[in-house]
Amino acid sequence: MAAEQDLMEKVVALCKRRGFVYPGSEIYGGLANSWDYGPLGTALKNNIRDWWWKRFVQSRDDMVGLDAAIIMNPKVWEASGHVAGFSDPLVECKNCHQRFRADQIDQDAPCPSCGKKGTFTEPKQFNLLFQTSIGSVEGDKSRVYLRGEIAQAMFVNFKNVLNTTRSRVPFGIASVGKAFRNEITPGNFIFRTLEFDLMEFEYFIRAADWEKTFEYWLGEQKAWLAELGFDAGHLRVREHEKEELSHYSKRTADIEYQTPFGWKELFGLAYRTDYDLRNHMEKSGVDLQYTDPDTNEKFIPHVVEPTFGLTRLLLMVLLESYTEEGEGDERRIVLKLKPALAPFKAAVFPLLKNKADLVGKARGIYDTLRRDYSVAWDDRGNIGKRYLAQDEIGTPVCITVDFQTLEDDTVTVRDRDTKQQERIAIADLPRHLAA
Ligand code: GAP
């Protein structure tokens, strides 16, 4: 357990030290469960998102994209059931007024915050939707919500998508974007935050197909985790018990990851039936049925929803890829990221920074490569230190320009994982990075 806690602390420290993640509003003392993504974190997040989009949207015939507004008509959240049902049971300590999830603490034990015993209130439902208001008048008329999930826009736009694309059931609508939840439980770094990025699609099907569709997407979620480099032994599937199902779900399975703070949900998969389209149809009065173009049969499609927490996945990718190797001078931290995820695909170094011809040659390679790839430049310290600095941020290769380069236009390319070096012609570098 101590070693595992240690891993979490090391990843958090690396994130701060190298600019993956910073505490939100840090110069004002921060804000609980709020974090900012620095230059490397932004790159890693974008790389995960781009891979997801390519794999699940761009490369498929049956998926289309949607990028919707965060603030929607509040009637959406009434129809979806979130105003009434998107809540956690909370207890409050009558002494220190700290609130806790009733299902996550022992209510007979002393308050974890002030240590007093027997001070908890009865559990009360606490809605997770953030409220704000439009315009200058506050009150019920102007009240709106920050979206608690990105899914609703895909249901609300179902008709628009049908009318403007050639999508036919079965098909999916995919979205990536921020969701907001008034979380009060401890966040475990970026695991649980007030706002977070989600990647998700609603897959519209005939009711009779839900079980096979569910199994198919569970398989696809697992397959992508393997492609991302996750060890299958660190993952498990957990079916939701009846009483923990969301208000819209008939079956939910979570893919959980073995974190230093226990098995935790990474991805979710839910069979939402026709709950959302049916409710929006009833409340809006707009016909959201699908008409089969071959048979003219009309029906409300059912939905299987695979959901992928992007910021949560980023944390698990870091935990999974963080490695320490070697002894003494050889000791190093390596982020064993898949090259597609690495913030930099390569780093370029001149062997010596005070030799203008080496620096000029290296600069030329750097400028050429970064037209197509994200590439780092480093001319500080010695080569060994530069390697270490790139290893701990996951850069797959380091390219060094030395005196031989000036004679034969080859460079040294050093591999992050094996530390092996080979000489490669400058002209072959783009091919090498693309491999
Ligand atoms: N549309 C379904 C939906 O939103 P969810 O299980 O409530 O389902 C989806 O959330 C995913 O979002 C989760 O599987 C998890 O990866 C991530 N997630 C949920 N709450 C989060 C939070 N407070 N902070 C970061 N990620 C969160």
61 DSSP assignment? T
Q: Which is more confident, 408 or 184? A: 408
**Predicted pLDDT of residue 374:** 97
Q: Is the CB of 267 under 6 A from ligand 1?
A: yes
Q: How confident is the model at residue 243 (pLDDT cuts 50, 70, 90)?
A: confident
* Residue nearest to ligand 1 atom 7, measured at CA: 149
191-202 average pLDDT score: 97
Say what the pTM is.
Answer: 0.94
Q: Is the CB of 349 under 6 A from ligand 1?
A: no
Is the per-residue pLDDT at 223 higher than 70? yes
Return the minimum-mean-pLDDT range out of 76-85, 179-188, 206-215: 179-188
**Predicted pLDDT of residue 112:** 86
* Residue nearest to ligand 1 atom 24, measured at CA: 192
**Predicted pLDDT of residue 4:** 66
Structure tokens at 80: 């979806």
> What is the DSSP code string of 148-205?
S-SHHHHHHTHHHHHHHS---SSEEEEEEEEEE----S--TTTTS-SEEEEEEEEEEE
* Residue nearest to ligand 1 atom 23, measured at CA: 192
- Which ligand 1 atom minimizes the distance to the CA of 193? 24
Q: What is the pLDDT of residues 322-371, one digit of tens each?
A: 999 999 888 999 999 999 999 999 999 999 999 999 999 999 999 999 99
Percent of the chain with pLDDT strictly greater than 90: 83
12-28 average pLDDT score: 97
**Predicted pLDDT of residue 225:** 98
Q: Is the CB of 199 under 6 A from ligand 1?
A: no
Within 10 Å of residue 82's Cβ, how many Cβ atoms?
Answer: 22
Output the CA torsion sign for 20, 23, 28, 29: negative
- Which ligand 1 atom minimizes the distance to the CA of 151? 1
Q: Which of 130, 194, 196, 317 most suits a substitution to test ligand 1, by most atoms within 8 Å of the C-beta?
A: 196
Q: Which is more confident, 142 or 148? A: 148
Q: What is the dihedral of CA 293, 294, 298, 302, to 10 degrees?
A: -80
- Which ligand 1 atom minimizes the distance to the CA of 148? 4
7, 324 contact by CB (below 8 A): no
Is the per-residue pLDDT at 210 higher than 90? yes
**Predicted pLDDT of residue 2:** 62
253 - beta bridge partners?
Answer: 239, 269
* Distance (Å) of CA 307 to CA 219, 265, 383: 13, 11, 43
Structure tokens at 393: 């941020």
- Distance between terminal CA atoms of the chain? 39
Distance 244 CA to ligand 1 centre (A): 14
Is the per-residue pLDDT at 126 higher than 80? yes
Distance 231 CA to ligand 1 centre (A): 22
226-244 average pLDDT score: 96
Q: Is the CB of 158 under 6 A from ligand 1?
A: no
Distance 199 CA to ligand 1 centre (A): 10
Please state, in angstroms and rounded to a whole number, the distance separating the CA atoms of residues 110 and 391: 45
**Predicted pLDDT of residue 138:** 66
* Residue nearest to ligand 1 atom 6, measured at CA: 268
- Which ligand 1 atom minimizes the distance to the CA of 252? 6
Structure tokens at 271: 């069979």
Please state, in angstroms and rounded to a whole number, the distance separating the CA atoms of residues 283 and 285: 6
**Predicted pLDDT of residue 219:** 98
Q: Is the CB of 44 under 6 A from ligand 1?
A: no
Is the per-residue pLDDT at 109 higher than 80? yes
Residues 6+ apart with CB under 8 A from 317: 44, 48, 228, 229, 337, 341
Is the per-residue pLDDT at 5 higher than 70? no
Is the per-residue pLDDT at 244 higher than 90? no
Exposure b/e, 266-287, CB count within 10 A at least 16 = b: bbbbbbbbbbbbbbbbeeeeee
Q: Is the CB of 351 under 6 A from ligand 1?
A: no
Question: What is the helix (H) or strand (E) element at residue 131, kind and residue range?
Answer: strand 131-133
Average per-residue pLDDT in the chain? 94
Residue 264 buriedness (CB in 10 A; 0-12 / 13-18 / 19+): middle
Please state, in angstroms and rounded to a whole number, the distance separating the CA atoms of residues 48 and 313: 8
Q: How confident is the model at residue 60 (pLDDT cuts 50, 70, 90)?
A: very high
**Predicted pLDDT of residue 130:** 95
Q: What is the pLDDT of residues 288-312, one digit of tens each?
A: 999 999 999 999 999 999 999 999 9
Q: Is the CB of 309 under 6 A from ligand 1?
A: yes
**Predicted pLDDT of residue 145:** 96
Query: Which of left, alpha, beta for 140 (phi over 0: left; psi -120 to 50: alpha)?
Result: alpha
416 DSSP assignment? T
**Residue 44: HSE in the Cβ half-sphere, 13 Å Cα cutoff:** 29
Q: Is the CB of 248 under 6 A from ligand 1?
A: no
Residue 261 buriedness (CB in 10 A; 0-12 / 13-18 / 19+): middle
Q: Is the CB of 183 under 6 A from ligand 1?
A: yes
